[in-house]
Structure 1
């Protein structure tokens, strides 16, 4: 009998799966959950942070996001931030790690963080609203969304 490739490596025990997937959800939020919160006005307790360069933020950003490029994160540049809040970091896409670098830097500075899955390209691909120079109807390709780290 041939084993399906999908099952070549056995699935973990339910307890191990709970630990792994629970941790994954603790570290990430998906665009759908975030947009539903924004639409419902549930914006207390977190801040959306664009971690790419200022020109990327100017081009297109998630409504209500603040720009804090990961390269500029220091004790001084984050002194005004509330350490009681959660900072949801995002960047261009899964091909860009500015959100990961920003989340790591903020965590090193003592902040609670999460990362937005898929970045702004996933956000736009889902049809969610953006602010900035990008206009409605533009695709990520025509809008010039890029890493800009």
Structure 2
């Protein structure tokens, strides 16, 4: 028995529930890119938040992202957005939990939120370009 099969896989119903639910909490770089670059102007229907430091943001960020540190995510900063606005957070990559921490803050503020898994690392791995500057 391998380490992979030593713990039995969940039954199909549990696996379906788990993996289906995960998509309510996260999106990926390819889906964000498709929404941002597709022909449908309504597809970019979310606010993309880069929660890294301003210095990291300036060195390279996903086009269209807004830089907002987790500690700066407060109700007054979000007041311009309708309450049902979907926020998508990202940080450096899988080694960083900043996007998850920011998602927690947004959820505590009652805002719809997903995490873009992979972050900047995933974005670059997909072959997409970053933009520099503010």
The question of a shared fold, defined as TM-score above 0.5 by the shorter chain, is answered with: yes
Secondary structure of 1:132's aligned partner: coil
CA distance in 2, matches of 1:7, 1:35: 35
Secondary structure of 2:24's aligned partner: helix
CA distance in 1, matches of 2:81, 2:55: 22
CA distance in 1, matches of 2:73, 2:29: 24
Secondary structure of 1:47's aligned partner: strand
CA distance in 2, matches of 1:69, 1:41: 31
Aligned residue for 2:34?
36
Gaps of 5+ in 2: none
1:64 aligns with 2:61: no
Q: CA deviation at 1:38?
A: 1.6
Aligned residue for 2:73?
73
CA distance in 2, matches of 1:89, 1:12: 29
Segment drifting more, 104-113 vs 72-81 = 72-81
CA distance in 1, matches of 2:81, 2:56: 21
Gaps of 5+ in 1: 134-149
Aligned residue for 2:117?
117
- Over 4 Å off, 4+ runs: none
Query: Normalization by structure 2: what TM-score?
Result: 0.90
Q: CA deviation at 1:41?
A: 4.3
Q: CA deviation at 1:128?
A: 0.3
Q: In 2 relative to 1, CA 99–59 (structure 1 residues): closer, same or farther, beyond 3 Å?
A: same
Aligned length: 131
CA distance in 2, matches of 1:67, 1:126: 21
Query: Normalization by structure 1: what TM-score?
Result: 0.81
Segment drifting more, 38-47 vs 50-59 = 38-47
Q: CA deviation at 1:112?
A: 0.2
